[in-house]
Amino acid sequence: MDHLALELKNVSKRFGEHPAVQGVDLQLTPGEVLTLVGPSGCGKTTVLRLIAGFERPDSGEILLGGRSVANRTKFVPPEHRGVGMVFQDYALFPHLTVGDNVAFGLPRAQRDKRAEKVEFMLRLVGLDGRQDAYPQELSGGQRQRVALARALLPQPVLILLDEPLSSLDADLRLKMREELRVLLKGAKLSAVFVTHDQEEALYLGDRLAVMNQGRVEQVGTPEEIFSAPASDFVAEFMGKGDFLPGTSTPAGVQTEIGLIGPAVNAQPGAAVDLVLRADDVQFEADLAGDSIILARHYRGTTNLYRLRLPSGRLLHATASHTVRYRPGTRVRVWAEPGHALPWFARD
C-alpha cells in the first residue's frame, strides 16, 4: 500500500495561552501540492514548523511517509525528517557562490557527487552555468530559485514553502509561480505551499486548505472551495467567483462571451474554466444581446447583477449605481479583466 506523503492528525500547538494551531487534520498524497492559505497570523507558518520539526505539537500526531515523527511519546528532530524548507526571506550566504549555497545542505558522505548534483539542481531551476556567480549578481527571482535548489538538493521526501514569492514584485511573482508549479509537478514533488494570496493558492495547489484562527476550515480542490465554500469565512476570504468554460488560445480564452485575455498557461485548444469575479464582467443593454438580466441587488456604490448567458450559465457582474437595469433587460456581456484570472484545467 502506498503511504500518504504527509498526515497531520488532530494537531494542536499553543504559545503560552495563545492557541496558534487547533486540531488540524491534513493529508497529502505523494506528488501532490497542497496550498495552505489564510490571513496573516492564522497559523500557517506554525503548521509548517510543526511538520519540519522546529516545533513540537502539544497534542496530535504527524506522520511522514507513513512513519510517525511526532506524537505523545515520540519526536523526530528536523535533521532526521528529510523535509526541505524554503522561506520568504530565502537567506543565501552572500560570501558563498551559487554552487556553494546550493551544496550547503549536502551530507558529508555525498561530497564526491557534489559537482554533479549541483549542476543537476541548477539545471532543474533554470540556472545552468551560474554556479560561480555570487547571490548579489542575481535577480530576486534567480536568488529565490537558488534557495529552492538548495532545499531540493538533499532530495527531501517533502518540500515546505513558506510564502516563497511574497518578497518578489508583482510581475516576477506571476512568472515565478508558473515556473514553480511546472517544477514541482515535473519533479513529482510532494509539497505544502503556504501563502496568504488567494490567487496564488488557487493557481499552485492541487488542493487547498483554508485556515482561519488556527483551524483548517476547509480542504478541497480549487473548484470545491470556490463552488461549495464550507463556511462564510471561506466564501469571503477566497472571494466569490463564477466559472466560465472556454478554450485556451494564444491570445486568451475563447468563451461564449468572447475572447478573454490574457492568455493562460495551457496548451492551445485545452478546455479550461476561468474564474470570473463580478467586477471582471461587463455588460450593456443591447436589444440584440443574447444574455438577459435575471436580478439586481443594490450594493451601495454598485449594483450586483445576475446574468443568464445563452448557454443558461449564470454570471455575476457589478455596475455603477448611477444606472439601473431592470430584470428581463437584454444585454451584451463581455469581460476585460486587465489582469490574469484564476483558471483550472477541465477534464
Ligand X SMILES: Nc1ncnc2c1ncn2[C@@H]1O[C@H](COP(=O)(O)OP(=O)(O)O)[C@@H](O)[C@H]1O
Q: Contact positions toward ligand X, by CB under 6 A?
A: 15, 18, 20, 38, 40-46
Residues 243-272 that bind Mg ion (CB under 5 A): none
Asked whether 244 and 277 are in contact (CB, 8 A), the reply is: no
Q: Please state the closest distance from residue 187 (CB atom) to Mg ion, in A.
A: 25
Tell me which stretch binds Mg ion (CB under 5 A): 44-52, 182-190, 236-244, 269-277.
Answer: 44-52
Q: Give the three-class secondary structure for 184.
A: helix
Least distance from C-beta 162 to ligand X, angstroms? 7
What is the C-alpha separation between 66 and 71, in angstroms, rounded? 13
Asked if 51 contacts 126 with a C-beta cutoff of 8 angstroms, the reply is: no
CA distance 249 to 254: 7
Chain residue whose CB lies nearest Mg ion: 45
Binding partner of residue 15 among ligand X, Mg ion, none, CB under 5 to 8 Å per kind? ligand X
Inter-residue contact 10 to 25 (CB < 8 Å) = yes
Does 88 contact Mg ion by CB under 5 A?
no
The least CB distance from residue 15 to ligand X, in Å, is: 3
Toward ligand X, which CB reaches closer, 43 or 53? Answer: 43
| Rounded least distance, CB 196 to Mg ion, Å | 8
List the one residue from 22, 35, 45, 291 that touches Mg ion (CB under 5 A): 45
DSSP string, 226-269: HHS-SSHHHHHHH---EEEEEEEETTEEEETTEEESSPPSS-TT
When the beta carbons of 195 and 248 are compared against ligand X, the nearer one is 195
Helix 140-152 vs helix 114-124: crossing angle, to nearest 10: 130
Instruction: Provide the minimum distance between the beta carbon of 16 and ligand X in the complex, in angstroms, as a whole number.
Output: 7
Binding residues for Mg ion restricted to 136-165, rule: CB under 5 A: none
Q: Among Mg ion, ligand X, none, what does residue 46 contact (CB within 5–8 Å per kind)?
A: ligand X
| Burial of 1 per CB tally in 10 Å (0-12, 13-18, 19+) | exposed
Alpha helices for 67-167 (secondary structure H) = 98-103, 114-124, 140-152
Stretch that binds Mg ion, among 23-31, 39-47, 55-63, 250-258 (CB under 5 A): 39-47
Q: Which is nearer to Mg ion, 35 or 45 (CB)?
A: 45
Do residues 294 and 307 make contact, with C-beta atoms less than 8 angstroms apart?
Answer: yes
Q: Cβ 307 to Mg ion, closest distance in Å?
A: 39
Cβ atoms 57, 7 nearer than 8 A = no
List of residues contacting Mg ion (CB under 5 A): 45
